[in-house]
């Protein structure tokens, strides 16, 4: 791995964190030993520590009692390569589970209702070759992280439909399907408590989250018989065409076609889980048109073009109006601060200028005034629910981007804050308080 867009020390740090997550892997070992209390998991070979000490004998049945012994040492090989699980998931059962999960998503019903497409989908899923060690990973994910497992199934369903409609070659379709199922497998090496929605991540914990694509890549790379491009797609599924993604901030020309389709499908699957499928998926992707593949966006648009949101899912109008007014204040404050910047004093804030100016352009390009978003909602009223929905999606996107920017400012501030001129520092700190008030709400 040698991406071009990050300083070498940062790339090395990320790769180190990913390798460390795999070599220690306490969360996965805990999950697999707990599963062994419910289902028969045997050592398919002697399991050794990296120092040569034998920890488990070939043929021994695992149980929760092995956990302390296993996590006390760095293992010579990833533990899943030394275990066998009776009745592990295979491709036929996986296809049935994907069908089952998709059937619970109303907006995917039209896909399941097309016999030819349904037959293509499940013939493809049924023919996938899943190595035993990866089947064990999936079984652990299904038991220990059911939401993560279900997310992978929905992403696989959507991405494979896109791939079929894009007429991708069969090997690329197989790689896309497998990469979608396994795209978050690296998260099995992260303590699930860190990923809980109610947990507020520290910057250190977030660093470990941001390397999960590398961790997943390293896990899949050990299986050379997987379709070409599978591991790379997992590595790149959070990369974006404009270079704003992670872990390596790759530009578009370095992101594979399979990765592009997976990126769009993963976003759609996440929105399905949070809000239900409707036109908000198309709006979300349209707002980020420079980040995602144009062809993939068009295909997603066709897939969800007729989906409508249940009225109960629409947020409170007063709350939305308040939040739109708050983000308008952030943009107004930015315009004032921006006027004080010059080529001589703006260099420390170049990353900030690029991000906030980019968000302003995004809002303007879809026809709204960034400082008057609340007015747009008031003018739309009840007679134009689509504008109201679009503004709600826009607000969600701006909240997400400003929160990410706030974290980046916090991480980088010690490096450049002291270099700002006193007058600019005061203006910046005032604007930062406006930003914090918006993202804290």
3-state secondary structure of 18: helix
186 and 136 in a common domain? yes
Whether the pLDDT of residue 385 is over 80: the answer is no
418 and 374 in a common domain? yes
221 and 170 in a common domain? yes
Per-chain mean pLDDT for the chain: 88
Q: Which residues pair with 48 in a beta bridge?
A: 54
Angle of the 280-287 helix axis to the 294-303 helix axis, nearest 10: 170
Whether the pLDDT of residue 404 is over 90: the answer is no
The answer to whether 428 and 337 are in contact (CB under 8 A) is yes
pLDDT score recorded for residue 275: 64
108 and 153 in a common domain? yes
Distance CA 35, CA 62 (A): 9
Alpha helices in 166-243 (DSSP H): 170-182, 192-195, 203-210, 212-221, 230-236
Domain membership of residue 18 (yes or no) is no
249 and 101 in a common domain? yes
Domain membership of residue 231 (yes or no) is yes
How far is residue 241 from each of residues 223, 252, 289, 399, measured CA to CA in Å? 28, 4, 9, 21
Whether the pLDDT of residue 8 is over 90: the answer is no
169 and 270 in a common domain? yes
With cut-offs at 50, 70 and 90, classify the pLDDT of residue 209: very high
Number of domains, the chain = 3
Quote the domain boundaries for residue 69. 25-85
pTM for this one? 0.85
Which among 254, 270, 303 is the end of a domain?
A: 303
366 and 417 in a common domain? yes
Domain membership of residue 17 (yes or no) is no
H/E run at residue 43: strand 41-43
CATH number at residue 97: 1.10.3210.10
With cut-offs at 50, 70 and 90, classify the pLDDT of residue 4: very low
Domain membership of residue 2 (yes or no) is no
318 and 286 in a common domain? no
- Tens of pLDDT, residue by residue over 138-194, are 999 999 999 999 999 999 999 999 999 999 999 999 999 999 999 999 999 999 999
How far is residue 170 from each of residues 174, 228, 305, measured CA to CA in Å? 6, 11, 26
What are the backbone angles phi and psi of residue 61, rounded to the nearest 5°?
-90, 130
The answer to whether 85 and 40 are in contact (CB under 8 A) is yes
229 and 130 in a common domain? yes
pLDDT score recorded for residue 120: 92
């Amino acid at each position: 791995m040698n991406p071009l867009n990050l300083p070498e020390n940062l790339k090395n740090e990320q790769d180190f964190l990913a390798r460390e997550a795999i070599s220690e892997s306490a969360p996965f070992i805990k999950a697999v030993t707990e599963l062994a209390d419910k289902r028969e998991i045997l050592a398919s070979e002697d399991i050794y520590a990296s120092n040569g000490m034998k920890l488990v004998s070939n043929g021994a049945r695992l149980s929760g009692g092995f956990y302390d012994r296993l996590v006390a040492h760095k293992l010579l090989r990833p533990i899943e390569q030394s275990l066998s699980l009776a009745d592990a998931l295979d491709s036929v059962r996986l296809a049935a589970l994907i069908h089952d999960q998709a059937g619970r998503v109303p907006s995917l019903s039209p896909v399941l209702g097309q016999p030819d497409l349904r037959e293509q989908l499940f013939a493809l899923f049924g023919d996938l070759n899943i190595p035993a060690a990866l089947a064990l990973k999936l079984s652990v994910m299904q038991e220990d992280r059911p939401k993560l497992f279900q997310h992978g199934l929905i992403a696989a369903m959507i991405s494979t439909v896109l791939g079929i409609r894009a007429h991708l070659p069969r090997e690329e379709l197989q790689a896309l399907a497998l990469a979608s199922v396994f795209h978050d497998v690296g998260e099995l090496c992260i303590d699930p408590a860190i990923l809980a929605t109610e947990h507020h991540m520290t910057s250190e914990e977030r660093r470990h989250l941001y390397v999960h694509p590398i961790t997943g890549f390293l896990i899949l790379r050990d299986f050379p018989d997987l379709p070409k491009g599978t591991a790379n797609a997992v590595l790149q599924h959070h990369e974006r065409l404009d270079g704003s993604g992670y872990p390596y901030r790759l530009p578009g020309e370095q992101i594979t076609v399979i990765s592009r389709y997976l990126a769009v499908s993963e976003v759609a699957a996440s929105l399905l889980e949070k809000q239900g499928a409707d036109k908000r998926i198309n709006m979300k992707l349209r707002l980020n048109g420079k980040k995602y593949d144009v062809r993939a966006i068009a295909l997603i648009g066709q897939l969800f073009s007729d989906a409508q949101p249940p009225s109960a899912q629409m947020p409170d109008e007063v709350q939305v109006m308040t939040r739109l007014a708050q983000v308008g204040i952030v943009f107004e404050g930015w315009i004032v601060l921006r006027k004080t910047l010059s080529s001589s004093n703006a260099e420390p804030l170049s990353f900030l200028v690029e991000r906030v100016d980019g968000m302003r352009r995004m809002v303007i390009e879809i026809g709204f005034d960034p400082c008057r978003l609340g007015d747009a909602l008031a003018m739309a009223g009840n007679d134009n629910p689509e504008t109201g929905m679009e503004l709600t999606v826009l607000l969600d996107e701006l909240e997400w981007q400003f929160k990410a920017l706030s974290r980046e400012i916090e991480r980088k501030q010690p490096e450049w804050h002291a270099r700002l001129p006193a007058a600019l520092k005061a203006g910046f700190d005032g604007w930062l308080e406006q930003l914090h008030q918006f993202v804290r709400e």
